[in-house]
């Protein structure tokens, strides 16, 4: 089978790697010439366990090539971004539309086209299907169109692409069957066949569920800080109930999924999706909450930022609330940033970032931050203070003051 994958980012590249490993001939397409050149030379632009060796092996055995343009194939998979439109929170389908149009000259009867990009409900039927029909294809008869959303965790993408169940939403049942045959090349989880609109809403709802539950934990944190209760103890105690699982609060919600997908549902029915919108507003308010408490801890000076990735132990900083927090603090404080997983010439080493810092602000749950070098901190900082917004530091020496979401009430 020959597979052409449009988009070589956090989903497209691992997907290409797995099809290549499964003896498929794979073309990975992207608009970045630098990325394409790097990929063809085995240089990987994302940090993800296992992917570097898979792509290197695929290039060596000629089962994978990167290209600026699509090639003819048996199956085409679209994995391009879908941001939201700020004015009305609706799904911006422009990248998906352009990707679909880009493959039209290479399509042949019998091909399978799969949209993996997260899209708003009804997008496949109302917007994407007409693109191919206007090109002369009959979807469900000589072209098979489906929406198959990804559902993976950064840091475990390869494993989850293989083992997670996949929802395969076809425009017709035959479309779903044909798309499932494509994923059958490497997916070991269950392939669940359904309608495209059901698959679309299912993916959006998965992330909305998580966003709403994180918002509940974040709202609890705000309440506890105001009334003088340890929020972390409340969560720990409540979760002793056999049917309760409160999520962990944090500095906000990031990533391309949780921070965006709920808006796609809200935009479809804003008069009804009130809980969804309120959860988004609550999570979007957390950077302000962090900054308000920073200003209670120190009025001026240097802040050492630890971590800007939205997800621990990855280099994925898409929609990271850390950047919002940095923007709000910048100007009032001297900012020094350290993130061991992100390559940025402006970021500093841990030693440089914390030197003479008035506050160490933890914004990401990298493993490196769970057990800090406290002797080094005491040597570099006169009166060390840590504000851990990810609640990952269990204890510190007596000489270091630790704030987290359990004791913010002390600042009031």
Write the DSSP string, 107-172: --TTEEEEE-S---TTHIIIIIHHHHHTTT--BTTTEEEEE------TTSHHHHHHHS-EEEEESS
Please, what is the angle between helix 286-297 and helix 274-284, to 10°?
30
Task: Of 171, 137, 188, give the one whose Cα is nearest residue 22.
Answer: 188
Q: Under CATH, which architecture does the 229-412 domain have?
A: 3-Layer(aba) Sandwich (3.40)
Beta carbons of 186 and 177 less than 8 angstroms apart: no
pLDDT at residue number 326: 98
Q: What is the pTM of this model?
A: 0.92
pLDDT at residue number 229: 98
343 a catalytic residue:
no
User: Which residues face 402 on adjacent strands?
Assistant: 386
Cα–Cα dist 181/198, whole Å: 19
User: Which residues face 360 on adjacent strands?
Assistant: 304, 386
pLDDT at residue number 154: 84
Beta carbons of 249 and 391 less than 8 angstroms apart: yes
Structure tokens that stand for 138 in this block: 């009959």
State the Cα torsion 394-396-398-403 to the nearest 10°.
-70
Per-residue pLDDT of 43-91, as tens digits, reads 999 888 999 999 999 999 999 999 999 999 999 999 999 999 999 999 9
pLDDT at residue number 279: 98
Reduced to 3 states (helix: H, G, I; strand: E, B; else coil), residue 49 is: coil
pLDDT at residue number 47: 86
Beta carbons of 299 and 281 less than 8 angstroms apart: no
Cα–Cα dist 310/316, whole Å: 6
User: Which residues face 76 on adjacent strands?
Assistant: 4, 113
Out of 129, 178, 203, 390, which one is annotated catalytic? 203
Per-domain residue ranges for the chain? 2-196, 229-412
Per-residue pLDDT of 168-194, as tens digits, reads 999 999 999 999 999 999 999 999 999
Mean pLDDT for each consecutive 10-residue tract of the chain (412 residues)? 96 96 96 95 90 92 96 98 94 98 98 97 97 98 96 90 97 98 96 98 96 98 98 98 97 93 96 98 98 97 98 94 98 97 96 97 97 95 96 94 97 92
Q: What angle do CA 337, 342, 345 make, to 5 degrees?
A: 65
What is the helix (H) or strand (E) element at residue 27, kind and residue range?
strand 25-29
Structure tokens that stand for 254 in this block: 């990031």
Superfamily of the domain at 2-196: NAD(P)-binding Rossmann-like Domain (3.40.50.720)
Cα–Cα dist 200/124, whole Å: 8
Long-range contacts of 64-67 (CB under 8 A, 24+ apart): 64/16, 64/17, 64/20, 64/26, 64/27, 64/28, 65/26, 65/27, 65/28, 65/40, 66/8, 66/27, 66/28, 66/29, 66/30, 66/35, 66/36, 66/37, 66/39, 66/40, 67/27, 67/28, 67/29, 67/36
- H helices within 164-285, ranges in order? 173-183, 196-227, 231-238, 261-268, 274-284
What is the helix (H) or strand (E) element at residue 29, kind and residue range?
strand 25-29
- Kindly state the greatest CA–CA separation across the chain: 73
Domains 2-196 and 229-412 share a fold: yes
299 a catalytic residue:
no
Out of 257, 291, 364, 380, which one is annotated catalytic? 257
Structure tokens that stand for 347 in this block: 């970021």
pLDDT at residue number 17: 95
Residues 6+ away with beta carbon under 8 Å from 181: 112
């Amino acid at each position: 089978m020959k597979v052409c994958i449009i988009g070589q980012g956090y989903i497209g590249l691992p997907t290409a790697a797995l099809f290549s490993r499964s003896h498929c001939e794979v073309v990975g397409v992207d608009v970045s010439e630098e990325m394409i050149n790097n990929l063809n030379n085995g240089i990987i632009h994302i940090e993800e366990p296992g992917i570097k060796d898979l792509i290197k092996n695929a290039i060596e055995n000629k089962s994978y090539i990167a290209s600026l343009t699509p090639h003819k194939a048996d199956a085409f998979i679209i994995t391009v971004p879908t941001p939201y439109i700020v004015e009305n929170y609706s799904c911006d389908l422009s990248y998906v539309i352009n990707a679909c149009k880009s493959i039209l000259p290479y399509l042949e009867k019998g091909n399978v086209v799969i949209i993996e990009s997260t899209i708003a409900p009804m997008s496949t039927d109302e917007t994407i299907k007409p693109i191919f029909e206007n090109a002369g294809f009959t979807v469900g008869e000589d072209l098979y169109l489906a929406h198959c959303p990804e559902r993976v965790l950064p840091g475990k993408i390869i494993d989850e692409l293989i083992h997670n169940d996949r929802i395969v939403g076809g425009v017709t049942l035959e479309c779903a069957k044909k798309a499932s045959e494509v994923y059958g090349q490497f997916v070991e989880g269950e392939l669940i066949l359904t309608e495209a609109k059901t698959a679309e809403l299912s993916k959006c709802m998965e992330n909305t569920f998580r966003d709403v539950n994180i918002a509940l934990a974040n709202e609890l944190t705000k309440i506890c800080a105001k009334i003088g209760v340890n929020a972390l103890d409340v969560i720990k105690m409540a979760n002793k109930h056999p049917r309760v699982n409160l999520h962990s609060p944090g500095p906000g919600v990031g990533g391309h999924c949780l921070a965006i997908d709920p808006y796609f549902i809200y935009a479809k029915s804003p008069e009804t999706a009130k809980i969804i919108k309120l959860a988004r507003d609550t999570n979007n308010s957390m950077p302000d909450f962090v900054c308000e408490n920073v200003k209670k801890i120190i009025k001026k000076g240097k802040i050492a930022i630890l971590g800007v990735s939205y997800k621990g132990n990855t280099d994925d900083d898409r929609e990271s609330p850390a950047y919002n927090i940095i923007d709000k603090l910048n100007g009032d404080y001297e900012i020094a940033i350290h993130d061991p997983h992100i390559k940025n010439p402006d970021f500093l080493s841990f030693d440089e970032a914390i030197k003479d810092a008035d506050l160490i602000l933890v914004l990401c749950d990298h493993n490196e931050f769970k057990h800090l070098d406290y002797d080094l901190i005491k040597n570099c900082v006169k009166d060390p203070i840590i504000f851990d917004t990810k609640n990952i530091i269990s204890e510190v020496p007596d000489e270091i003051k630790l704030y987290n979401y359990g004791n913010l009430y002390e600042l009031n």
